[in-house]
């Protein structure tokens, strides 16, 4: 009987830990009217008119950054070139690069590593407005990183 109760407690603890690690909360970057879901322990380090940055220890998100761009020279035609230049400048070893679109945004992203850590860069354009931005993500948790990026939407 004692073995069963220890097993039940261990199972309960495992489920509880997994739930708390995956718990999400909504965040809003009011300066640009963007909403996104972040791990519950997410800590915002900067939020102003020029950038939004933060991290999550439990989610293994070492840097999540959003940076608005107001450059009318960046279009769908040169997004790949802009993202590849950004990746090169950051010394990213690119393993994949492709077009992406989600929640009304269109863009191009590069995935790879920076100093051995998984990294993701994207340049996103709003085809129905002028809300264009760069996403930077350094992480050690692909599921949390994908969930975070795909959650970005207009308020």
3-class secondary structure, 150: helix
* Torsion angle (degrees, nearest 10) of CA 49, 50, 55, 60: 130
Q: Where are the domains of the chain?
A: 24-154
Type and span of the H or E element at 15: helix 2-22
Instruction: For residue range 96-123, list pLDDT tens digits in order.
Output: 999 999 898 999 999 999 999 999 999 9
**Which residues on neighbouring strands pair with residue 33, listed in sequence order?**
none
Instruction: For residue range 17-43, list pLDDT tens digits in order.
Output: 444 445 889 999 988 889 999 999 999
Asked whether residue 69 carries a pLDDT value surpassing 60, the answer given is yes
Instruction: From the options 3.40.1000.10, 3.40.50.300, 3.90.1150.10, 3.30.2130.10, give the CATH code of 24-154.
Output: 3.40.1000.10
Strands (E), 19-116: 24-29, 34-39, 43-47, 52-56, 61-69, 93-102, 105-114
* pLDDT score recorded for residue 9: 41
């Amino acid at each position: 009987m004692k073995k069963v109760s220890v097993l039940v407690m261990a199972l309960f603890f495992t489920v509880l830990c997994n739930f708390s690690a995956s718990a999400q909360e909504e965040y809003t970057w009011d300066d640009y009217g963007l909403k996104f879901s972040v791990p519950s322990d997410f800590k915002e380090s900067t939020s102003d008119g020029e950038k939004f940055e933060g991290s999550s220890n439990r989610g293994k998100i070492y840097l999540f950054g959003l940076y608005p761009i107001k450059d009318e020279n960046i279009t769908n035609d040169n997004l790949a070139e802009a993202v590849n230049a950004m990746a090169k400048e950051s010394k990213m070893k690119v393993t994949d690069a492709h077009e992406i679109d989600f929640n009304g945004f269109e863009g191009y992203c590069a995935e790879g590593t920076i100093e051995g850590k998984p990294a993701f860069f994207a340049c996103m354009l709003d085809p129905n407005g002028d809300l264009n931005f760069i996403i930077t993500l350094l992480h050690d948790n692909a599921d949390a990183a994908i969930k975070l990026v795909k959650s970005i939407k207009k308020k």
